[in-house]
Structure 1
Amino acid sequence: MRDFVYNANPGRVVFGSGTLSRLPGEVERLNLTRVLVVATPEQEADAHRIAGMIGARAAAVFAGARMHTPTEVTAKAMEVVAAERIDGLVAVGGGSTTGLAKALAMRTDLPQIVAPTTYAGSEMTPILGETENGRKVTRSDPRILPEVVIYDVDLTLTLPVAMSVTSGMNAVAHAVEALYAREANPIVSMMAERAIAALAAALPAIHARPDDREARSEALFGAWLCGVCLGSVGMALHHKICHTLGGTYDLPHAETHTAVLPHAIAYNAAHAPDAMEALKRALSTQDPAGAAFDLAQGLGATMALERLGLPERAMDEVPDLVLASPYWNPAPLEREPLRRLVSAAHAGRHPATAPKS
């Protein structure tokens, strides 16, 4: 076994069914007295219900979270934090809601309690991606990591199937990149393989029966592990491309990760043999890139970035943006292979028929 370094992130996880009922106790355990509940505009009613659960310790609600965590939204929320003398943050929702709480924590070091309603995994990482002036920038800092995460399977039972699929594939992407990350190690690789296998089995079951509690539980467990993987090691080409597409072209987050993932796997396959062997085991296939594409497409996901709103000019722009500030990657980053990757994802071609990198 080769030498390695493993850093475990601190944090408290409460996992189960009906566990959101323990939120008031977690607020009290952290000795919080003026909590801000954050949400998206669509979840404002839910945010007020959550505030009601917390009771007198809930000081305010801010229902303005948006995808890709725009800094102007964070600035507005910071005004509420100051005006209401907030001493803690509660986020119940998906990646946009979690992102806003993390952005506020980065600026204030306020403790966070997060209860995810999707499979995004962001709640398990000390990583924040923010968008300003059309550019998405990521940073890592211990202040960003939530102190408590409440995983309540019940919160995912009504997650629409289409969103479950893309959110789950987004989580799979975190684990895939952890397998070939520069900081990859046996502990994270073990979690990544288990997580990918869990989601690959759970998503078809959820597609067939959305209220399958066992499948939902397995998917949420897998997403938790995927988030741990993402928070433990670095990111590579897949995330760099998706951050570029989201920040520059405002593409939907999970859907973009879903469409790009098979092509990122294909790009790196020849340069990450150990990762590919793990993916073959997790996906029960000899063709991990093709299997990832077939899994997502077979569950109804949109696999063409063009259909998600990516303009044709991006095929020339994205490679330059990626190369301007690249992430480490096992395969060399070169303009023409990157352009072919983006072109294949733009058209939604199967990686088996896409131009080779």
Structure 2
Amino acid sequence: MVQTSFSYDALPMRVRFGSGVVASLPEEVARLGARSALVLCSPEQRATGETIAGALGERSAGVLAEARMHVPIEVARRARARAAELGADACVAVGGGSAIGLGKAIALEHDLPVIAVPTTYAGSEMTTVWGLTENGRKRTGKDPRVLPASVLYDPDLTLGLPIAMSVTSGFNAVAHAVEALYAPDRSPVVSLMAEEGVRAMTRALPGVVADGGDLGARTTALYASWLCGAGLGATTMSLHHKLCHALGGTLDLPHAATHTVVLPHALAYNQPAAPEATAALARALGSDDPAGRLWNLAASLDAPRSLRELGMAEGDIEPVREQVLSAPYANPAPVTRDGVTRLLRAAWSGERPAPRS
């Protein structure tokens, strides 16, 4: 059935995709008219960040290797101060959602353009969404100033991504596409991208797991992450993301792994209330039960399937539930106390996902 009423705003950004495309980074910095770009990365990515800074030559303001999950406010403040101290007029964020999120935090205050060089499948580079964590609460918002001006997708940079992280990062991307398919502001363009993103990612991940050096599988996974991230960037988030923001901000659970565990449960909760999205996912996944198919795929790829194994205590269920209920996101199925409790309990214990009752 064709969607008969919608609006779609194309986001103003430039994407370059392909093996070796990171070599064009100096050109992209020059294209923005920037003279001094601060390279941002996590401590684990420092070597890559140093290589990128070296490639920028005199256009590099240095490397700040302090990016952390969920962008703690104290890290953001230090990065903002450092960018101002160095006189940076652009940022190059190298890595996953942590580095790109830190770049967005700087852009939010100093209005500096960001060039994203993703090395995971997180998808943050495709969105105007920012997030900051303070006092155990993760705040998110949207602002066009944080949208990267350019994104360089180079599959070569993903070859070293550990297999376990590749899997959870891939599921994180799929979660973006799933919610884009039933978002209240979806459009036919977004739905096409999201369905193809789910199809491509779920077909690429087994190849990545079989051989992390398979450039073909890595390229397909990165292509999928672009599509899934673009879907997230063009729509609003729903229950799945609200749950993950609460779990991550409050408990500091690993971001991608939390998405991996929660996704089949949040999808099962919403499937009966989102028949068109469920049909699209059924086509992409080759299953009439998309939530069950994702659950089984996670098992086959040795991904985590319970919040308990990520470090969540059973006693954390109630405070997380209350945070979700206090400010729920738009969602196709009603967000109820009993429903969220059952969802969290199943995700915590690692039960097979069940439809909302």
Tell me what 1:320 maps to: 322
Find out whether 1:217 has 2:219 as its counterpart. yes
**For the Cα contact (< 8 Å) 1:340–1:355, is it kept in 2?**
no
**Which of 174, 177, 189 is matched with 1:175 structurally?**
177
Aligned to 1:139: 141
Which secondary structure does the structure 1 equivalent of 2:314 belong to? coil
In 2, Cα distance between the equivalents of 1:78 and 1:210?
A: 36
Query: How far apart in 2 are the matches of 1:169 and 1:148?
Result: 24
1:203 counterpart letter in structure 2: L
Q: 1:112 aligns with which of 108, 114, 122?
A: 114
Match of 1:285 in 2: 287
How much does 1:333 deviate? 0.7
Opposite residue 46 of structure 1, the aligned amino acid is T
Q: 1: distance between equivalents of 2:240 and 2:230?
A: 17
Shift of 1:60: 2.1
Q: Structure 2 counterpart of 1:125, which letter?
A: T
Counterpart for residue 188 of structure 2: 186
Q: C-alpha distance in 2, partners of 1:42/1:201?
A: 28
Residue of structure 1 aligned with 2:296, choices 294, 297, 304: 294
Alignment-mate amino acid for residue 48 of structure 1: E
- What residue identity is the alignment partner of 1:98? I
Cα deviation 1:302-335 (Å, max 9, x = unaligned)? 1010010111112222221111011010100110
Conserved? CA contact 1:344–1:355, under 8 Å: no
Instruction: Evaluate the alpha carbon distance shift between residue 311 and residue 27 of structure 1 in structure 2; reply closer, same or farther with a 3 A threshold.
Output: same
SS of 2:320's partner is helix
- Residue 264 of structure 1 deviates from its aligned partner by 0.4
Note the C-alpha offset of 1:46: 2.0
Structure 1 equivalent of residue 6 of structure 2: 4
Q: Deviations over 1:156-197 (max 9, x none)?
A: 111111111000000000000000001011110010000000
Q: Secondary structure at 1:340's aligned position in 2?
A: helix
Q: Match of 1:313, SS?
A: helix
Q: Which residue is equivalent to 2:232?
A: 230
> What amino acid does structure 1 have at the position aligned with 2:326?
A
Q: Counterparts of 1:65 and 1:39 in 2: how far apart (Å)?
A: 6
Aligned residues of 2:269 and 2:355 also touching (Cα < 8 A): no
Deviation at 1:79, TM superposition (A): 1.3
Partner of 1:264: 266
> 1:281 offset after TM fit, Å?
0.2
1:267-292 deviations in whole A, cap 9, x for unaligned? Answer: 00110000000010000001111001
Provide the TM-score with structure 1 as the length reference: 0.98
Could you tell me how far 1:48 is from its partner in structure 2? 1.7
1:244 corresponds to which letter in structure 2? A
Structure 1 position 45, deviation (Å): 2.4
1:199-236: CA deviations, max 9, x gaps?
01000111112111111111100000001000000000
The CA RMSD measured in Å over matched residues stands at 1.0
Secondary structure of 2:201's counterpart equals helix
Cα-to-partner distance string for 1:82-124 (whole Å, 9 max, x where unaligned) = 1111100001111111110011011111111110000000001
**In 2, Cα distance between equivalents of 1:137 and 1:344:** 26
Counterpart Cα distance in 1 of 2:229 and 2:356: 30
Aligned residues, how many?
355
The TM-score, its normalising length taken from structure 2, stands at 0.98
Structure 2 equivalent of residue 196 of structure 1:
198
Say whether the 8 Å CA contact 2:268–2:355 is kept in structure 1: no
Q: Distance in 2 between matches of 1:92 and 1:151?
A: 11
Report the CA distance between 1:356 and its aligned residue. Answer: 4.3
What is residue 69 of structure 2 aligned with on the other side?
67
- Sequence identity (%): 55
Contact 2:250 2:320 in 1 (8 A): no
